[in-house]
Amino acid sequence: MPTRDTDWSTRHSVLTNARRTAALVNALTVGPAPDPEAVAAVLHEFGEKGPLHLTAQDVGRMRVAAVPLREVFAADDVDTAAATLNRLLRECAGPLRLTSHGGGTPWHPHLDRDDDAPWDEWLLTSSCLALAVLVWDHQRPPGRVCASSACGNVFVTQGQGPERRYCSRRCATRERVAAHRRSRPGARPMTRALPPPLDEVSD
């Protein structure tokens, strides 16, 4: 049985919340629209408990919320990342408050209206809060878009070790192979997977 401190470090830390943001942005904006079960699986992977009762409409609105979050990960420098976060916080965030979700979690900050706020509002505000703290703590962009020409995933760059260019070893290997193939005569270039236009996102 995990202790309260372990629960905090694994479920409620800023870095875990930022990584959850990246996973949700990828699930919601790369490729076709996911079904509610797929989005719920991501949330459960990052510690959400119990049945989540997501609807297709919830997922459609979360997809819209995830698009501007990609801009934070795509920022080339800390000033651009901070300016994007400031805009999103100004447009979407409510007053800072603390919640324990009725005693079910350690106390932690929220910027949505209340514990029953819609999923898209929760996604945008909780993500901005976590990413803003990473910018504050490290004074650099909190993440980036994978450098692989065949991948559109975003990822958090605040872990240990040198700054990463790829979201995974698989993408790094695939890019090396692709570069080798491109060096051959008559090779066809690969194109990056991009998120869908907003007019293709259902309500």
Q: Other C-beta atoms within 10 Å of 59: how many?
A: 23
Cβ(106)–Cβ(100) under 8 Å? yes
Q: What is the pLDDT along the chain (203 residues), one digit of tens a residue?
A: 344 445 555 566 899 999 999 999 999 999 899 999 999 999 999 988 888 999 999 999 999 999 999 999 999 999 999 999 999 999 999 999 999 888 888 888 999 988 889 999 999 999 999 999 999 999 999 999 999 888 999 999 976 667 788 999 999 888 787 776 777 766 555 555 455 444 444 43
Handedness of CA 59, 69, 115, 102 (dihedral sign): positive
pTM: 0.80
User: Looking at the chain, how many residues does it have?
Assistant: 203
47 closest CA partner among 75, 24, 70: 24
Three-state SS at 117: coil
User: Using CA atoms, how far apart are residues 191 and 193, in angstroms rounded to an integer?
Assistant: 7
